[in-house]
Structure 1
Amino acid sequence: MSCEVCGASTRDGAKLCRDCGAPTPKYIEAICVLALVVDPFWFALLFSVTVIPPSVAETSLLFLSPLLVAKFPIYYGLFRAKKWAWGWAVVLFVAGALVGLVALWFGSPSGFVTLLGNGAIAAYIYSKHEVYVPATTTA
């Protein structure tokens, strides 16, 4: 089938393609806005209350800072229901959950919250794959 507005191929039974008619999923907007505000604070807290030696914490922050910076364009892509953002968001939130697991292993109590929060968000975003990666048919 084709989109009634732009003519792009759509999944069976759909009148509009993803770009013309798919709204952003219900909680994605809240996740994006809250993550933009909360992520830097959780990231700082993650390494402030640990038993990790300072040199290891500084090195970890050096390598994990790009992870935090990389999330900002992904939040924009999720907010605008861009296809490319879905896969990257799942990967980065799973990576964030792994960071929480490592922090928990080193004794940071905030690692549990990071693990739980990022894991739940990754699972929710993955469950909304039909919005970001719709099935297409070929004519």
Structure 2
Amino acid sequence: MSISTGTTRRPGLDLLLVRAGREVERRRRASAAAHGLSTTGLAVLHALLGVPSASHRDLAGAVGLTPATLTPVLDALDALDADGLVTRERDGRDRRVVRIAVTAAGRTRSAAATAAVDRDVAAWLPAAPPELRGYLTRIAEQR
């Protein structure tokens, strides 16, 4: 069945942005997967790069997940490589708190996957003018 309204209407900017976002995400997933990571796993590694360790709850908040949703992501990262990409240890001051840290293997994998994602997305997208990058950054920071 074909739907026709009799007029050809070009997609609005809103729909074009959604479609472009989906394509960027598809490319990000493929690039991360080539390095054995999900995009969520890559986000977790990236969040850990600037801190010695983070509590499970704080890390979940930093990547926009619930603590329960974060657990299987950490399980997968822990299982990658011989020693894992992250470590989990009980906090010495509060045994109820689990602290997560990125390992040297995790730093290496994160750097390689991030470079691949950047390269693959940049190869598809035209160079973004600084004003577009600034606008997109402002939108992303509003959530």
The TM-score, its normalising length taken from structure 1, stands at 0.30
- Structure richer in strand, relative to its length: 2
Rg larger for = 2
Between the two structures, name the one with larger relative contact order (CA 8 Å, sep ≥ 6): 1
The TM-score, its normalising length taken from structure 2, stands at 0.30
- Structure richer in helix, relative to its length: 1
